[in-house]
Structures are given as structure tokens and as C-alpha cells.
Amino acid sequence: MKTLLYLLLFMSSLPLVAQKQITIDDVFGKGTFSPKRISGVNWMNDGKYYSAQSGSDIYKVDVTTGQPVETIFNGDLLPDGNRLNDYSFSGDEQKLLLRTNVEMIYRRSFTADYLVYDIESKSVEALSENGRQSYATFSPDGSMVAFVRDNNLFYKDLSSNEETQITTDGQFNEIINGSTDWVYEEEFGFVKAFFWSPDNQKIAYYRFNETAVPEYNMQVWGDQLYPTDYRFKYPKAGETNSTVQIKIYHLNNGEIVDVPLGTETDIYIPRVMWTQDANLLSVRRMNRLQNQLEIMHANASTGNAEVVYTEKSDTYIDINYCNDLTYLQDGEYFVRTSEKDGFKHVYLHSIDGKEVQQITQGEWEVTELIGVHEERKPMVYYISTEASPLERHLYRIDLKGKKKERLSEKSGTYSVDMSNDFQYFIENYHTVQTPSVYSLYETQKNKEVKVLENNQSLKNTLTEYAIVDKEFMEVPLENGVKLNAYMLKPKDFDAAKTYPLLVYQYSGPGSQNVNKRWSGSHFFFHQYLVQQGYLVAVVDPRGTGYRGRDFKHITYKQLGKYETEDQIEAAKYLGKLNYIDASRIGIWGWSYGGYMSSLCIMKGADVFKTAVAMAPVTTWRFYDTIYTERYLQRPQDNASGYDDNSPINHVDKLEGNFLLVHGTGDDNVHFQNSVVLQDALIAAGKQFDSFYYPDKNHGLRGGTDRNHFYKMLAKYLMEKL
């Protein structure tokens, strides 16, 4: 017994196996902490199979086993030089549209070389020989494909190989048919702006006239002898927007019917979709200030339209990127989401727009409307924050708001890809500590069929590094509000010591950084800093999302005011903790977060020693109409809301260390923002540091730029904080 005791004491005295130190190359170069994903999934018609892409191959997978049973497309059939980016099936699943050689334009827009693959004959043909295409889409019956080229709309009959040009007036920086202008793409989240009718006989499409929209001039440096100018239409706050029309093309006779949108042309059409009736088009119209939303129903034959539903707000109405309106198959009802009662919930309406039932309710939010399974006893599937604002869970409920059932059990974050017939779904589950686990589920019984990917190799990798958990906390404000936050502390944290603190935040309207989910590259960069002896805190101020309308909308007409106050007060609170060195508190952020870190180092000069702003807005007068005016109205309406919290008007307060970084090719938050801020800082006699990335966009995507930036960021923080 004594021998065993001595052995145990000896073993406990041995040093633990040394864990690896995270490097920035691990995070932004090698992809050491990048999880595997299940991508390229398309549910097949019979509900027994789905397809999945692996490299350039496409497989048919049995849903009951999760195993491939057939190769639908062999990537070796691609013409030389083509790379497969994505694919879609025809309605009868006899053909594939293969999207290859994608070249991005902005965040979502692109051109590509589309190929049509006949599954039976195994033949591959170019969709068109007349130039690259964008957003190619099968008609519902798979007999035709519509696409955009050079701002014009086309369709091709696959049986006759006849290509028809629907519009002819498309021209860069003037007229756009079938796709969106820059600001719709960025702020309403879509670029394909044409829609096949359910009967294959009509195509509804957007037409943008952006002739009167001011141009932004962005110099492109490259490696040429003389830099070139890239001019594109970008409506800054208060400036002229594109004039938008909705048109319906009839394939049988070539007639184009205009949908009347009213006498006021300074409006937005954020969504268009067909109802279950192939002759009834649903159009959503908003006023420029985005505080009134109308659902219109238009007759496709005559164009006659009527408003069936109107919602107004004393602040603004958000349009989700995800599906938030579903027309039921019976043609008698539709389901939509709204935050009109103070929290975003699901509502049932009759087809004439009358509200029939509030389906979900409570002091929590529906974050995504998955869809409505209408067979037998119709059920609505949705993701919500009911369990916690920091989590996302899958629920179902009937159309009367009864029989609610939570389908996800464990604490964490869930998202789902539901099959078209609602028989199965692929669940993506992850937590703070656990990367994505993809599982196939049978819906009705909520039964797991198979784990498709558990990221075990990444889990094993994580054990080799000194990864620390998020320590969640609430930061109390003097007004009684409590902010959600978390902190990262070193593995060998000693409460008797004091540490420098870096605050990371984004803070934009409706955003969320504090949550119980697997985090990306910023999280592992922060882990790197923790290993260097820093504490990192993340705080969601007022104005961020998923805590109700009042919490989010408080920043209306005064972006930056409450968010800055909250970050400063949170930093003061954290600075009073015994283990934090209040003289060494820093803050950093990207985009809106860069705007906030700029304001905080100025307005909170007595709190923050160091700040880093990456690609910041420095005056909302420079940002686009849709985003900015949604929260601030126009500069003509609310000048003080634009100027009171602009960093360029607070440069005289700067006392600490400030690093300003921007890409000169940023089409979103223009480099102009940093140029003007630098000019103001220089005029005020303030010393600061700056760096620019030639020709790089808002996210520094591609190449080694992100790796370079984070190394520079780390070096700056270690020298200045």
C-alpha cells in the first residue's frame, strides 16, 4: 500500500505535458483551428436521398445511412481549366447546373462559366457561348435556364438551345436588369433579382435605373505604370438612390408587364417572390426611412397591385436576410415574422393580409423561420432564443400557437438544413468548446440517424493547445441595465496578479458577439493574446441584438452614443477588478467595431490606453443610404445624429495610442473614411499610427493580408498596451 501511495505522489509531482503555443500562422495561415463543414447539400425530391459535393465530385447520399450510394457527377468530366464552385438540380433531377470559375465582384455578386450536365447521357455543355453569366437558375420544370449577363436578363430553352435576350438596355453604372445595385446587394443581402413563376411561363425581375446615383471613384494601384480609376454607383446617406421597377416577362408572347409601385419613387423593394398562385406576385415595399413596410399582391397578367398588409414603426423595420415570409400551399394563408410586439415572432395571416394568429410569443426572439410543414397537422419550424439570448434552439409549433416542442436538447447553438418534404434535417450543433457536429435527423420522431461529421480531428488538435473557455458574466450599468459579456483568462491565471485587458467588440445594430457558439478566427487570435499574458473581454452594448426591440432600437437616430457610453462604463467596471491593471486597457474592432474603438479612445481617453481601428466608418455621412438612414434617418433630417458621434469631431480628445488601418480597395467602408480622420488628427496635432493595404477590400480577403494584419495588430498591442 505504501509503495502505491509513494508512486501516486511521485506521478502527481511530475510536470504536465507541455501544450503547444498558438501562433498567428496557426490561425490565419495553416488553418489549424478551421473546422470541417458539410457543404454543397441539396435535398432530393423523394426525401430518401440528398446530394453532397466533395471537391468537384457530387454524390447521392442515402439519408438512412448517411453513406454515398452513387456518383451523380464525376469532376473529371469538367473541361480543362474549370473548377466547380457550386451546383443545382433541375426540378426533375435529370440535369445539373454547374457553376465554375467564379470571379467575385463585390460581397455577393459574381460572374461564372455555367455548364449544363445531363445526368443520363453524362454530357457537359456550356450554358452559353456568348460570354460569362451570373445567377443562372433552372425554371421549375428544368426545361429552361435564366441568367444575367452585362446587366441584361436572358433565358435559354435547353431542348432547342435557343437563347432569348429579354432586356437590351442594360449598361454598367446606368441600367441593371435581373440583378441588384451595390446598396441592395450589401444591405438587403441578395443579388439574383429575377424569379421564375411556378408555372414556368413568367419571369419577374427588378430593373434599376442608377443613372442619377453619384459615383464613387476608387483608385486601383496594381503593378501598372499608372493607377486606374474604378468608378461605381454608391449612394451615400442623403444622396439619390436608384429608381426601382418590378417587371414581369411573359414567355409565351414576350410581353413585359409593369407592376405599379405608386407615385413615390424614392422607395425600396427589399423582397419579391411568387405566391402559390402562378399569377400572383408578392412585392414588399418600404419607404425611404424604412419605418413602413407594405406587402403588395400583383396580378401578373394585368400588373394591377393592391396593398394587403401595412406595418409601421416609430423607429425602423428590419428586413431579414433569411426567409421571413412563407405562402402556404393551400393559397389561403401566409406566415411571416415581425418584432411589432417588442420581440421578433411568427404571425399567421390570411391571403388578404388580415392577421389571424400570433403563433409565437414571449420575451424572446425568433431568429429564423425555417418553414411550415403543411401535411396532416401543419407545424411551423423555427430557431429561437427562448432558452437564452446566448443560445439558438430548434422548435416546432402548430399554426394556432399550440403544441410547442423544443427539438434541440443540449446547451449551445443549433442551425438546421431541412429537407423539402420536412422528413429529415441536417443539424449543425456547436458550443463554445465544441466545433460543429453535423448530424442527420428524422424530423417527426426527432431521432438522430447518423453523425455526418464530428470534427474529431480538430477536437484532438485542440487538446494539444492551451485553449481557455469563455467565462460569461454580466456587466452592470449605472442605469440598471446589465450587458452580456465574457472574458478570456490565461490557463495559469492568478487573481493576485494584475493583467492588461483588451476589449474586443463590434457593437453594430442587431449584432451579437457574446454567445454560446463556436467562434472563429478572432477567438483564436484572442487565445494567442491570452497566452502572451493578456486578458480579453468581449462586451455587447445596448443596440446589439436578441434582447428585444427596445434594447436594440435605443440607438435610433444617434448611432455611437449609447454604444460608446456602454463600452467606456464596462471598461471602468472591469478596471476595478483586482486582477486588471486599469492603466492598461485597450479596445479594438473592425468596421462598425473600428468606428467604436475610434470613438472610445477619444471619448474615453481617461479609460483606454490603446485602440486599434480596422476599416472604420469615421462619419456616417460617408456610408450608404439603406444601412445608415435605417438607423439615423437622412442627414437632412438628423444632422446632429450624424455629427455628434463622428470620430472626426472628437480628435482633440485623443490622448492614447491609436492605430488606424484600412484597405484602399474597400468598396464598402471607403478608404476616404480613414483619409479624412487622419487629416483631422493631423490638423489637431495628434500623433497616431496608420497602415493601409493596397487595393484590398473590406475583409482583406485573399492572399496573406489577414495574416499580415493580425501579426501587426499583435505587435502593436504588445508594444503599446
pLDDT over 80 at 4, yes or no: no
User: What DSSP letter does each residue of 527-544 carry, written as one string?
Assistant: HHHHHTT-EEEEE--TT-
* Of 189, 204, 289, nearest in space to 241 by CA: 289
* Residue of 181, 324, 540, 666 with catalytic role: 666
- Output the CA torsion sign for 447, 452, 458, 463: positive
From first CA to last CA, the distance across the chain in angstroms is 54
pLDDT digits (tens, 9 = 90+) for 134-171: 999 999 999 999 999 999 999 999 999 999 999 999 99
The residue ranges of every structural domain in the chain are 466-720
* Of 283, 302, 290, nearest in space to 244 by CA: 283
Give the helix, strand, coil percentages of the chain, each rounded to 5. Answer: 15, 35, 45
Name the least confident of 168-172, 179-183, 376-380, 493-497: 376-380
For helices 521-531 and 705-720, angle between their N-to-C axes, nearest 10 degrees: 40
Strands (E) in 359-404, as ranges, are 366-373, 379-384, 393-398
Contacts for 678 with CB less than 8 Å, ≥ 6 apart: 660, 688, 690
pLDDT of residue 116: 98
93: cell is 433531377
Is the Cβ–Cβ distance between 114 and 126 less than 8 Å?
A: yes
**Average pLDDT value for the chain:** 95
pLDDT of residue 636: 97
What value does the mean pLDDT take over residues 476-490?
A: 97
Cα–Cα distance between 456 and 433 in angstroms, integer?
Answer: 12
Query: In DSSP terms, which residues pair with 487 in a beta bridge?
Result: 471, 537
* Residue of 591, 598, 646, 674 with catalytic role: 591
Name the least confident of 1-10, 239-248, 261-270: 1-10
Q: What angle do CA 174, 166, 96 make, to 5 degrees?
A: 110
Query: In DSSP terms, which residues pair with 164 in a beta bridge?
Result: 155
Torsion of CA 78, 81, 85, 89, to 10 degrees: -20
The answer to whether residue 591 is catalytic is: yes
| CATH 3.40.50.150, domain 466-720, yes or no | no
* Residue of 419, 650, 698, 705 with catalytic role: 698
For the chain, helix (H) and strand (E) counts, in that order, are 12, 43
Is the Cβ–Cβ distance between 416 and 425 less than 8 Å?
A: yes
pLDDT of residue 703: 78
pLDDT over 80 at 619, yes or no: yes
pLDDT over 80 at 10, yes or no: no
Looking at residue 123, its amino acid is S
Measured in degrees and rounded to the nearest 5, phi and psi for residue 718 equal -70, -25
pLDDT of residue 17: 55
Cα–Cα distance between 344 and 346 in angstroms, integer?
Answer: 7
CA atoms within 13 A on the CB side of 701: 9
CA distances from 218 to 26, 227, 230 (A): 33, 10, 5
Identify the burial level of 606 via C-beta atoms within 10 angstroms of its C-beta, where 0-12 means exposed, 13-18 middle and 19 or more buried. exposed
Cα–Cα distance between 582 and 252 in angstroms, integer?
Answer: 73
Cα–Cα distance between 152 and 165 in angstroms, integer?
Answer: 8
Cα–Cα distance between 525 and 21 in angstroms, integer?
Answer: 12
Q: Name the percent of the chain lying above pLDDT 90.
A: 92
pLDDT of residue 591: 98
Instruction: Using the structure block, give the residue that is written with the C-alpha cell 467604436.
Output: 596
Is the Cβ–Cβ distance between 245 and 207 less than 8 Å?
A: yes
pLDDT of residue 588: 98
Cα–Cα distance between 284 and 224 in angstroms, integer?
Answer: 46
pLDDT over 60 at 8, yes or no: no
The answer to whether residue 698 is catalytic is: yes
pLDDT over 80 at 553, yes or no: yes
Confidence label for 73 from pLDDT (cuts 50, 70 and 90): very high
* Of 357, 332, 336, nearest in space to 346 by CA: 336
Looking at residue 303, its amino acid is G
pLDDT digits (tens, 9 = 90+) for 336-384: 999 999 999 999 999 999 999 999 999 999 999 999 999 878 999 999 9
pLDDT of residue 693: 97
612: cell is 486599434
Instruction: Using the structure block, give the residue that is written with the C-alpha cell 439558438.
Output: 392
Is the Cβ–Cβ distance between 459 and 45 less than 8 Å?
A: no
Is the Cβ–Cβ distance between 186 and 624 less than 8 Å?
A: yes
Is the Cβ–Cβ distance between 575 and 582 less than 8 Å?
A: yes
pLDDT of residue 57: 94
What are the helix (H) ranges across 17-156? Answer: 24-28
pLDDT of residue 65: 83
Confidence label for 15 from pLDDT (cuts 50, 70 and 90): very low
Is the Cβ–Cβ distance between 667 and 182 less than 8 Å?
A: yes
pLDDT digits (tens, 9 = 90+) for 664-710: 999 999 999 999 999 999 999 999 999 999 999 999 987 799 999 99
Q: Is 27 helix (H, G, I), strand (E, B) or coil?
A: helix
CA distances from 121 to 3, 60, 95, 127 (A): 76, 17, 10, 16
Measured in degrees and rounded to the nearest 5, phi and psi for residue 703 equal 70, -150
Cα–Cα distance between 321 and 317 in angstroms, integer?
Answer: 13
pLDDT over 70 at 98, yes or no: yes
Q: Is 390 helix (H, G, I), strand (E, B) or coil?
A: coil
Cα–Cα distance between 340 and 345 in angstroms, integer?
Answer: 8
pLDDT of residue 399: 97
pLDDT of residue 520: 80
Contacts for 11 with CB less than 8 Å, ≥ 6 apart: none
What value does the mean pLDDT take over residues 282-289?
A: 98
User: What DSSP letter does each residue of 419-457 carry, written as one string?
Assistant: -TTSSEEEEEEE-SSS--EEEEEETTTTEEEEEEE--HH
Cα–Cα distance between 556 and 563 in angstroms, integer?
Answer: 11
Measured in degrees and rounded to the nearest 5, phi and psi for residue 392 equal -135, 130
Identify the burial level of 407 via C-beta atoms within 10 angstroms of its C-beta, where 0-12 means exposed, 13-18 middle and 19 or more buried. middle
Is the Cβ–Cβ distance between 420 and 43 less than 8 Å?
A: yes
